[in-house]
Chain A
Amino acid sequence: MTSTKISVQSLNLYYKDFQALKNVNLEVEENQVTALIGPSGCGKSTFLRTLNRMNDLIEGVRVDGVILLDGRDIYRPDVDVVNLRKKVGMVFQRPNPFPMSVYDNVAYGPRIHGEKNKRKLDEIVEKSLRAAVLWDEVQDRLYKSALGLSGGQQQRVCIARLLAVEPEVLLMDEPTSALDPLATLRIEELIQVLRNDYTIVIVTHNMQQAARVSGVTAFFLNGDLIEYGNTDVIFTRPADQRTEDYITGRFG
């Protein structure tokens, strides 16, 4: 049995005059990994960032349509964006740990949300780092700068930092594109573990990755959502010719 976590209905997004998303309708299932694929510039990142309103930070962005999180519209004016982002967290393309120690990075979220108890923080940090499969590698350098870690480790610090605020949805924008194959593998394994507890939406340019980690795949092209459905269906019997062209690499 699956239930809908996020429901996107006739979503349009404009950067000033340029329409980057055109009438997108999509249901994101709970405890499922949804992969967004499509050629560069088709609007994957833009779409992903509408889900926790990160686009609000960009001047001149206009959004219309409805996005329901657990049945409630996140674009209603009285919505607390800060609370929304706490529930819907994001991992970015380039690892972006803060210039602080590993510990302070992971403890950042709980601290800003009011946790002061040192023992509680220790617990959260350890739990999150374990959940991000990083604990063993960093436990004896918790108090050194996170910027001294390898790229793959930094990305997992970012994931641990996100898990520490106990979000319900994880948005990942090409989380492995800056990493080497081994580090990529670790992150993919991690996503497999996390899917049990979280709803995950991931943008990727890597078809194998989409096939490996996701249960549902959505294909975007020029701001349109061409089709979406079970990953094995999309990869073996896509309904649209353009999807097939893209997946098989026959795309112009």
Chain B
Amino acid sequence: MDLAMRIKKKKSKATMTSISMSLQLRYDRFFKFVFFGSAAAVSLVIFTIILFVAFQGLQTFKEASALDFFINTTWSPPAHYGIFSFIFSSFATTLLALLIGAPLGLAGAIFMAKIAPQWVRDVLRPATDLFVGIPSVVYGWIGMTIFVGIIRDNIGGSGFGVLAAGTVLSVMILPTVISISEDSLRALPQSLEEASYALGANRWQTIRRVLLPAASPGLLAAVILAMARAIGETMAVQMVIGNSPQFPASLVLPTATLTSWIVVEMGNTPFGSTINNALFLMAFTLLGLSMATILLVRVVVRRRMV
């Protein structure tokens, strides 16, 4: 009697745990499904973006020829939808930004990774994070209130143009350059450095001949990503570029980039009109450029693995 009861009790307890267990397993499966769904959603988002922007943009070609669109420098709808000036200005501002920002950022990264004492690093790290925290409209506002005036007074023109935009951008890309290069310098094994010192090399020789070459894929990736950041930057550029749809024959001539011109024209044109569609095509061009940089970074970084 007593034994039978004990057995029964034990049995019911066993089924209890197996029920709660299968509930746990169901939770487990449910959440796995949820997480997978989220991941799938992220992928879906980028494909949807490409699809919609492409669909809207490609309607431009109902009225404008593709060749005219990409190589003509004249933007005077409805006769000409040439965006070459914008593409050129985008690259010009980006190049200028890289010329100033990349060396400074790389030097800063080397300084932070290999030279600065701990306390300096503790100051510089949050400082570079703060560069990210300053909104791009604030960069644009600083550009308008400081750089444009300086350029106008010392170099000429109205002050608005590629030079002002490039200068503003050169500061904005600093955090990208610094953080990615610093990470790739830090990722190098300590043994590399030690081996060089053990051969009697000094710090500069070690940096230049051992560390920089070893980290070069990462440094290159940093510059490429900075480039993507600069090409895509909109508001800061729009505020200092001058917003005139003309070819930037000089660094101080008001002009427009792909991004800045979208902002200027979008508000003035009705959705669905050819000129509005052309703006979406410019956005699609930007998308293409940013996808290209992603692939480029992949190629560059993969080379390190080999």
Do any beta carbons of A and B sit within 8 angstroms of each other in the complex?
yes
Q: Are A113 and B17 in contact (CB under 8 A)?
A: yes
Q: Are A83 and B18 in contact (CB under 8 A)?
A: yes
Size of interface on B: residues with Cβ below 8 Å to A: 7
Residue B25 CB within 8 A of the other chain: yes
Tell me how many residue pairs across A and B have CB atoms closer than 8 Å. Answer: 13
Q: How far is the CA of A82 from the CA of B17 in the complex (A)?
A: 12
> A87 to chain B: closest CB distance in Å?
11
> A122 to chain B: closest CB distance in Å?
21
Residue B21 CB within 8 A of the other chain: yes
Q: How far is the CA of A113 from the CA of B24 in the complex (A)?
A: 9
A114 to B, closest residue via Cβ: B20
Within 8 A of A (CB), among B7-24: 17-18, 20-22, 24
Q: How far is the CA of A112 from the CA of B21 in the complex (A)?
A: 10
Q: How far is the CA of A113 from the CA of B21 in the complex (A)?
A: 8
A80 to B, closest residue via Cβ: B21
Q: How far is the CA of A83 from the CA of B19 in the complex (A)?
A: 11
Q: Are B20 and A113 in contact (CB under 8 A)?
A: yes
* B21 neighbours in A (Cβ, 8 Å): 80, 82-83
* B25 neighbours in A (Cβ, 8 Å): 80, 82
**Per-position 1/0 for A166-191, Cβ under 8 A of B:** 00000000000000000000000000
A81 to B, closest residue via Cβ: B25
Q: How far is the CA of A10 from the CA of B20 in the complex (A)?
A: 34
Q: How far is the CA of A83 from the CA of B24 in the complex (A)?
A: 11
Q: How far is the CA of A114 from the CA of B25 in the complex (A)?
A: 13
Q: How far is the CA of A84 from the CA of B20 in the complex (A)?
A: 15
> A16 to chain B: closest CB distance in Å?
19
> B25 to chain A: closest CB distance in Å?
7
**Per-position 1/0 for A78-118, Cβ under 8 A of B:** 00101100000000000000000000000000001110000
> B12 to chain A: closest CB distance in Å?
15
B16 to A, closest residue via Cβ: A114
Q: How far is the CA of A82 from the CA of B25 in the complex (A)?
A: 8
> A126 to chain B: closest CB distance in Å?
22
* A80 neighbours in B (Cβ, 8 Å): 21-22, 25
Q: How far is the CA of A157 from the CA of B126 in the complex (A)?
A: 38
* B22 neighbours in A (Cβ, 8 Å): 80
Mark B residues whose CB is within 8 Å of A: 17-18, 20-22, 24-25
Apart from A80-B22, A113-B20, what 10 extra A-B contacts exist at CB < 8 Å? A80-B21, A80-B25, A82-B21, A82-B24, A83-B18, A83-B21, A112-B24, A113-B17, A114-B17, A114-B20
Name the 6 nearest CB pairs between A and B, nearest first: A114-B20, A83-B21, A80-B21, A82-B21, A82-B25, A82-B24
Q: Can you give 13 contacting A-B residue pairs, CB < 8 Å?
A: A80-B21, A80-B22, A80-B25, A82-B21, A82-B24, A82-B25, A83-B18, A83-B21, A112-B24, A113-B17, A113-B20, A114-B17, A114-B20
